[in-house]
Amino acid sequence: MQHKRAQRVGDQIQREISRMLYEEIKDPRIGMVTISRVIVSRDLSVARVYYTVYGEQEVRDTSRAGLEHAAGHIRTQLGRYLRIRSVPELRFIFDRSLDHVARIEHLLKEIKAGASATTEEGQ
């Protein structure tokens, strides 16, 4: 369970990074990145920034390189926007939860198709 203050700071960081990616940062490597969540350590020293991007592994790798390159700028800007003593170190992590959702949906469709085929054979 995340500490309430850390969660509030994480929510602020998520909003600000999302805004910066949309309005300020023009690195073409980043592409259509979405910040899905930010988890900040209790002591506010590290922020794990989870992101998603549509595309294959090459696009993901390129986006990660762009995000890591912009991390210093993002952290500096966060220091200006947020009212906290020190800005957490940013660690960008690709969020695989959408991959898991897609896999589960695919499996459910297979199960449903198998059940329909079994029902049709029994009639």
The pTM for the full model equals 0.78
User: DSSP of 17-85, one letter per residue?
Assistant: HHHHHHHT---TTT-SEEEEEEEE-TTSSEEEEEEEESS-HHHHHHHHHHHHHHHHHHHHHHHHHS--S
Residues above pLDDT 70, as percent of the chain = 88
- Does 4-95 carry CATH code 3.30.300.20? yes
Per the prediction, the chain carries an average pLDDT of 87
Point out which residues pair with 49 in neighbouring strands: 38, 92
User: Average pLDDT, stretch 98-123?
Assistant: 72
pLDDT at position 36 is 94
What pLDDT score does 37 carry? 95
Q: How far is CA 2 from CA 9, 43, 64, 83, in A?
A: 11, 11, 25, 20
pLDDT at residue 48, as a whole number: 97
Residue 87: its pLDDT value, please?
A: 93
| Domain ranges (residues) in the chain | 4-95
Decide if pLDDT at 100 tops 80: no
The tens digit of pLDDT for each residue in 25-81 reads 988 899 889 999 999 999 999 999 999 998 888 988 999 999 999 999 999 999 999
Q: Phi, psi at residue 31, to the nearest 5°?
A: 65, -145
Return the pLDDT at 57: 86
